[in-house]
Amino acid sequence: MNISELQKARYAYQPKLPAVLQKDVKNITVALGEPTEAVADAADVKKLFANTYGQPVARFEEGTNAGAGKKINVGVILSGGQAPGGHNVIAGLYDGIKKGNKESKLYGFKGGPSGIIEGDYVEFTDEFIDAYRNTGGFDIIGSGRTKLETEEQFKKSLAVCKKIGVSAVVVIGGDDSNTNAALLGEWFKAQGEDIQVIGCPKTIDGDLKNEHIETSFGFDTATKTFAELIGNIEKDSNSAKKYWHFIKLMGRSASHIALECALQTQPNFCIISEEVEEKKMTLAQVVEDIVKVIVKRAEKGCNFGVGLVPEGLIEFIPEVGALISELNDLLAHEAEYYATLNGFDDQAEFINRKLSRDSSYVYSSLPVEIQKQLIMDRDPHGNVQVSRIETEKLLIQMVEERLNEMKVKGEFKGKFSALAHFFGYEGRCAFPSNFDSDYCYTLGFSAFLLISAGLTGYISNVSGLECPAGEWKAGGCPLTMMMNMEQRHGSMKPVIKKALVELDGKPFKAFAEQRDVWAVETAFTFPGAIQYYGPDEVCNQPTKTLALEKGGCCGGEAKKGCCCC
């Protein structure tokens, strides 16, 4: 296999671990805190997770670990969309298992959760793992979005685990995938089985976080990759001075990616979906805000610029969000009849008959292509596939129409020529940054320690991430404490609650303080490519979001060599 020089160098990179995890695994114990409660709908969540609800938060510290040297077989699943660093979670898990007992085995279930159901797996070896250390992608075993929820699926998973002697399963995924993990772990417990289930927090979207999960892995690398591309486009825009670039950024629900990229690149506008929802803005009002920026810059002779649009924006516009919610329920409850309809015209007629008056009006007012995109097949979790909705093109079309109206009235004398971009897949499989390489390896190593402590229904977590890796604190927290009940496929289901952008949080406030200046001035910044070697402030810098949320590793006081000041 031909490999690049960077790939060779990254294979040799040794991820950094928190100080406590650098000890012999037999000398790392787990300290347990107080019982926990679900973040919302506690009574309903408790009923569904009678065997795993209310467990305490776990922290690793120096001490005796009698279970660390036990010979075990563990299975691992990569679930959902790719995120940089997934290979290092597996590498950290593998190394932890082998440090405990060289006879222990790690199996990779191929193609996501379907691998454990169908018994499609591979046994990892040193040579196998070494070929993927510190590299991007999920190609080591592949991923998938199969929803684990039926009795039949659980029984098949159990049979596969028993066949190869697996006593623990690690699920690497986002909120829906870790909900799968919680359901599987609960089912094993309810059957009296000793098979443990541990999760790891993955998603470039950044919406799997809370007081214990400070960030999901992949967010650091993906946002830095997108910021490089945005910076390149900003440089091009300022060079050509004739195009407006509308850039849609991946992030199915929350706007964390758009906000982080805005903080890194200072575009002329950046829409934050959560603010749109909070202000109950209509689609027309969103367009009007963009138009104001374009007009102001045109008055300065600047008929160019860059704007960022979150992938999930359309769901946060109240009128469209209500429409999507109705469509989700309608397509779930009427799936059998809907499947018999031939062509878009028949589908649209049926939908408009079934929707409420307000939603029918909104649906009919949208361009036909957007109408078609809104009724595409849902993902396995019942979510509309927002990545396939061309929101950036919708906004360009509506902005252009509004500017043409203003031209006729003499209210706009500038020029408007726009280009659309969608950045998402470009960042999902990038070479992980040093931060994600270290963080992911720590998450995987921690998953082994949670297994060795006999725990199940937990997710690996690391805190103090604004500090150097050696100062991080590792452990795990119960999956049930992150859950609430939400409507999926027309019925209430337990799911891990998404973390949206907090409008009173430091990252958004930092953005809000500057955006009016960025709107008019050409204040672009150019982050450049991710650096892997060099001084800490260049190659080990955390995201601006994390540094702002945590106050930086120096507490906000600039110090020489500090990675966040």
Active site residues: 205
Structure tokens at 480: 């049930």
Give the span between the Cα atoms of 46 and 540, in whole angstroms.
41
Q: Which residue has tokens 């990179």?
A: 13
Nearest-angstrom CA–CA distance, 167 and 73: 6
Say if CB 547 and CB 466 are below 8 A apart: yes
The answer to whether the beta carbons of residues 324 and 374 sit under 8 Å apart is yes
| 271, 281 Cβ separation under 8 angstroms | no
> How many angstroms separate the CA atoms of 551 and 506, rounded?
9
Cα 26 to the center of its chain, rounded Å: 33
One-letter amino acid for residue 526 of the chain: F
Taking Cα atoms as reference points, which of 278, 276, 277, 298 lies closest to residue 287? 276
77: alpha, beta or left? (left if phi > 0; alpha if psi -120 to 50)? beta
In degrees and rounded to multiples of 5, residue 549 shows phi and psi of -65, -35
Q: Would you say 286 and 271 are in contact if contact means Cβ atoms under 8 Å apart? A: yes
Residue type present at position 301 = G
Distance CA 510, CA 259 (A): 10
Is the CB of residue 118 less than 8 Å from the CB of residue 215? Answer: no
Contact residues for 328 (Cβ-Cβ < 8 A; gap 6+): 378, 382, 383, 384, 487, 489, 490
For 223-241, b/e burial (b = at least 16 CB within 10 A) is bbbbbbbbbebbeebeeee
What's the DSSP call for residue 28? E
Q: How many angstroms separate the most distant Cα atoms in the chain?
A: 79
Looking up tokens 């469209």, which residue turns up? 320
Q: How far is CA 108 from CA 43, 121, 138, 170, 283, in A?
A: 35, 5, 11, 10, 45
For β-strands 418-423 and 105-109, DSSP reports them as: unpaired
3-state secondary structure 61-130: EECCCCCCCCCCEEEEEEECCCCCCHHHHHHHHHHHHHHHCCCCEEEEECCCCHHHHHCCEEECCHHHHH
Would you say 207 and 256 are in contact if contact means Cβ atoms under 8 Å apart? yes
Instruction: Give the Cβ contact number of residue 500 at 10 Å.
Output: 19
